[in-house]
Amino acid sequence: MRDNAPCSRADIAASTGLNKATVSSLVADLIDRRLVRETGLTENRVGRPATMLVLDGSPYASIGLEVNVDYLTAVAVDLSGERLLSWRRAFPGATATPAQAVAAVAALTRRVVNRMTKDQRQVLGVAVAVPGLIGTDGTVRVAPNLGWHEVDLAGDLAKALRDPGFPIQVENDANLAVLAEHRFGPLGGTPNLVYLTGEVGVGAGVILDGRLRRGGQGFSGEIGHIQIDPQGPRCRCGRTGCLEAVAGIGVLVSTTDPAEVESEIDEVVRRAKAGDAATLDQLATVGRDLGRGIAIAANLLDPDAVILGGYYVPLAPWLLPAAADQARALSIAADFGGCEIVASTLGYGAAALGGAARVLDSVDSGRLPSP
């Protein structure tokens, strides 16, 4: 129904192969739960007009949050995918303690939840994106840019919200961003996707066969520290030639203050638009190195598409051609295995949006709210 709305019960029966009677009873249950709503009838067709069905957006909301080095983001989405709210708020993530972060996130969450309940919506769940290694149990093992170590964010947040009555999840930012692309992006539904976060760090989110793949410990997608060039520059992690040391956003900016990165990137864009040779050169070099990293992921995973996010998006006009050339040259499959490289269109809120997507995923996979 999400893909083909509005559609009739008969449409669903035809496309799923289920019996009309079965569809009717299932739809009745979904209407009881206020997940689905009848809209008008079809007209101007032979035969009895069909009563059309749509996902009912109004009674529920799904909330996604993102903690980052310089801001908190909150997104709320309804069941039909409509964006209800998108807030961004400055936050000194790089210097705040985990306890301060929990308090700030809890405060923001409370405000979003209040807004939702004022709108008569029930909150289905909250998922928080964190840039770092997240264990399979949802605790933050380590988030270098936030200076966090073994923080049970989900538990602390639940405590701060005093048993909020909806589940709270924590997940890696790249993992959530790729979920956002999979549900809301122009390549939505594509079964094999890789998403690259373009921040000072570079992380990957990997969807294979339609599901997020988190690896054994939940640490998959750590592409930022694969070694692109053993003779490359030293990375802040202490190793040499890491992808993020040669193709991270940090290569293009001089500041170490995360709050200033955005304006510096704007400046790079300005110089590139003006045709500044040194800038164009530097962007081409970063693009090629990024292409090397993409080629590695593509050779290993054979995705249908690689999506560039974060600050890679405004720089895409200059990065993409070089990256695509390099990736194609280094790919073993003919024609790059039909894999596309594209810039994300979801903007900076991708990870938070992915949090909301994750909550919706759990509804789609059967955890329905009771009637």
Partner DNA sequence: ACTAATTTGTTTGGCTAGCAGACGAACTAA
Partner DNA sequence: TTAGTTCGTCTGCTAGCCAAACAAATTAGT
Stretch that binds DNA, among 2-10, 98-106, 237-245, 259-267 (CB under 7 A): 2-10
Cα 352 → chain centroid:
7
Assess 366 for contact with DNA (CB under 7 A).
no
Report which of 1, 148, 153 is spatially closest to residue 65, judged by C-alpha positions. Answer: 153
Question: What is the token pair recorded at 124?
Answer: 């289905």
User: How many residues sit in the footprint of a second copy (CB under 8 A)?
Assistant: 49
Stretch that binds a second copy, among 59-67, 97-105, 212-220, 316-324 (CB under 8 A): 212-220
Assess 343 for contact with a second copy (CB under 8 A).
no
Assess 365 for contact with a second copy (CB under 8 A).
no
Assess 50 for contact with DNA (CB under 7 A).
yes
HSE, CB side, 13 Å, CA atoms: give it for residue 73: 23
Assess 46 for contact with DNA (CB under 7 A).
yes
The DSSP bridge pattern shows strands 211-212 and 133-134 to be unpaired
Whichever of 154 and 228 has its CB closer to a second copy, that residue is: 228
Task: Give the start-end residues of each E strand in the chain.
Answer: 7-8, 36-41, 51-55, 60-67, 71-77, 83-90, 122-130, 133-134, 140-143, 148-151, 168-172, 193-196, 204-208, 211-212, 305-308, 340-343
| Minimum distance from residue 305 beta carbon to a second copy (Å) | 8
Pattern 83-122, a second copy, x by CB under 8 A: ----------------------------------------
The partner in contact with residue 214, picked from DNA, a second copy, none with C-beta cut-offs of 5 to 8 angstroms by kind, is: a second copy
| Minimum distance from residue 7 beta carbon to DNA (Å) | 9
Report which of 355, 323, 356, 357 is spatially closest to residue 340, judged by C-alpha positions. Answer: 323
Distance in angstroms (rounded) separating the CA atoms of residues 219 and 225: 12
Assess 17 for contact with DNA (CB under 7 A).
yes
Q: Give ∠ CA 341-344-348 in degrees, rounded to 5.
A: 150
Helix (H) or strand (E) holding 360: helix 350-364
Pattern 239-278, a second copy, x by CB under 8 A: x---------------------------------------
Assess 43 for contact with DNA (CB under 7 A).
yes
The partner in contact with residue 49, picked from a second copy, DNA, none with C-beta cut-offs of 5 to 8 angstroms by kind, is: DNA
Q: Which of 4, 15, 19, 39 binds DNA (CB under 7 A)?
A: 19
Assess 141 for contact with a second copy (CB under 8 A).
yes
Contact in structure between 287 and 248 (CB atoms under 8 Å): no
The partner in contact with residue 50, picked from a second copy, DNA, none with C-beta cut-offs of 5 to 8 angstroms by kind, is: DNA
Question: What is the token pair recorded at 309?
Answer: 């996010």
Q: Which of 133, 154, 272, 283 binds a second copy (CB under 8 A)?
A: 133
The partner in contact with residue 325, picked from DNA, a second copy, none with C-beta cut-offs of 5 to 8 angstroms by kind, is: none
Stretch that binds a second copy, among 103-111, 177-185, 291-299, 309-317 (CB under 8 A): 291-299
DSSP string, 60-125: EEEEEEEE-SSEEEEEEE-TTS-EEEEEEEE--TTTS-HHHHHHHHHHHHHHHHHHHHHTT-EEEE
Assess 54 for contact with DNA (CB under 7 A).
no
Q: Give ∠ CA 170-176-181 in degrees, rounded to 5.
A: 160
Label residue 97 left, alpha or beta by phi (over 0 means left) and psi (-120 to 50 means alpha).
Answer: beta
The partner in contact with residue 18, picked from DNA, a second copy, none with C-beta cut-offs of 5 to 8 angstroms by kind, is: DNA
Assess 304 for contact with a second copy (CB under 8 A).
yes
Helix, strand or coil for residue 227? strand
Assess 26 for contact with DNA (CB under 7 A).
yes
Distance in angstroms (rounded) separating the CA atoms of residues 136 and 205: 15
- φ/ψ of 78, rounded to 5, equals -95, 180
DSSP string, 294-305: HHHHHHHH--SE
Assess 9 for contact with DNA (CB under 7 A).
yes
Assess 285 for contact with a second copy (CB under 8 A).
no
Please give the residue ranges that form the binding site for a second copy (CB under 8 A). Answer: 133, 141-142, 191-192, 204, 206, 208-209, 211, 213-231, 237, 239, 292, 295-297, 299-304, 329-330, 332-334, 337-339
